[in-house]
Amino acid sequence: MSDLLKRLTSARGVSGDEGQIRKVIIDEITPLVDEVHIDRMGNVIGYKKGTNPKRKVMLCAHMDEVGFIITRIEDNGMLKFATVGSIDSRILPSKRVRIGDKGVPGVLGIKAIHLQEPAERRNAVKAKQMYIDIGARSREEAEKLVNLGDYAVFDSDLVYFGNGRVKSRALDDRVGCFTLIESLKGTYPFDLYACFTVQEEVGLRGAKVAAYHIQPDIGLVVEGTTCSDVPKVEPHRHTTRMGDGPAISIADLASYSNKRMVSFLIECAKNAGIPYQIKEGVTGGNDAGEIQRSRGGAMTAVISVPCRYIHSPSSVMDLKDLDNTVRLVKEFLEGCESL
């Protein structure tokens, strides 16, 4: 598990700039499928022909991650930026980033606290007040290293710690990509389309195109989702709990899971002795929202790996939850033709 997860989380892939992670995924799935297709949006679709195909099943995980895009180079060499995807600006000051194809190192900076007015100290600093410091002393120096429109990612490596846990950037949704790759190692009666989508973090754009092309009968999305089982958060607001297994969604702001699929996922988990939980909340959204409504519609459901501190450089996950997510997806695939 460790080598593949490290390769996936190390590759850059901010929404709209997924080239590096796309190459990693293509290299991983090419020996496992009958055909690899990259559509005009940049989605990677691995097609695995079924032994007796009567239905189309679409497995989906997005390969993009949140990050930044350079919007201006100041005369003093500092870089202004916009966030790509939803990022809490309160976590940004002093975080390290890597910019562009060369991975130019930088640090997110703000005005020093001893220079701030009392009113400024009481309010959270917004991203538009920050800048990226790459050590350049002038615009000319900075322009030798970066260009307007370059993307930047959090500079954060995968680290194992505690009792079987990891921290990394981009666990949302490289855990889903990991699960799809592992699932492709099986053989199934139906035609399987493993879709690694782009631009989920900025509006589920890639999934809309992929689902329209494939026209699946069944769509199963694998995600990394919010986990807030931390101090001073009441238990009824945890949404998911780390270590309790994959989270099965009932609904979110983008989609309603098909009731038969949810019941079947629960049945699969119980029969195989796989721990699972129901996601307790309907916030957020994912690619199921577009797959469900594409063309004539599709049955959809969502399985998620609980991840603390998502959309940050230090998301945290329990490896047992990822392993059990892979197990549950495989159990589902082995019997979903009965749906």
| 201 tagged catalytic | no
Residue 163, domain member (yes or no): no
Helix %, strand %, coil % for the chain, to 5?
35, 25, 40
- From the list 18, 28, 200, 201, the catalytic residue is 200
| pLDDT in the model for residue 221 | 98
Residue 46 sits in the same domain as residue 93:
no
Residue 111 sits in the same domain as residue 238:
no
State which H helix or E strand residue 82 sits in. Answer: strand 79-84
Residue 248 sits in the same domain as residue 202:
yes
- Encode pLDDT of 219-269 as tens digits: 999 999 998 888 877 877 778 999 999 999 999 999 999 999 999 999 999
Judge whether residue 187 has pLDDT over 60.
Answer: yes
CATH code of the domain in which 48 resides: 3.40.630.10
Residue 160, domain member (yes or no): no
Residue type, 264: F
CA 221 to CA 175: how far, in whole Å? 12
- Encode pLDDT of 175-184 as tens digits: 999 999 999 9
DSSP letter at 249 equals: P
Residue type, 320: K
| pLDDT in the model for residue 112 | 65
The phi, psi pair for 72, rounded to 5°, reads -160, 145
Residue 205 sits in the same domain as residue 280:
yes
Residue 114 sits in the same domain as residue 39:
no
Residue 26, domain member (yes or no): yes
Domain count within the chain? 2
Under the banding of pLDDT at 50, 70 and 90, the label for residue 307 is very high
Residue 159, domain member (yes or no): no
Residue 76, domain member (yes or no): yes
Q: Report, as an integer, the average pLDDT of 317-321.
A: 97
CA 8 to the chain's CA centroid: 11
Under the banding of pLDDT at 50, 70 and 90, the label for residue 54 is confident
State the residue range of the domain holding 208.
2-65+169-338
Residue 107 sits in the same domain as residue 173:
no
- Comparing CA positions, the residue from 18, 308, 333, 47 lying closest to residue 8 is 18
Residue 216 sits in the same domain as residue 252:
yes
CA 126 to CA 294: how far, in whole Å? 37
Q: Quick one: tokens of 231?
A: 């101090």
Q: 130, 154, 178 — which closes off a domain?
A: 154
Residue type, 201: E
Residue 138 sits in the same domain as residue 258:
no
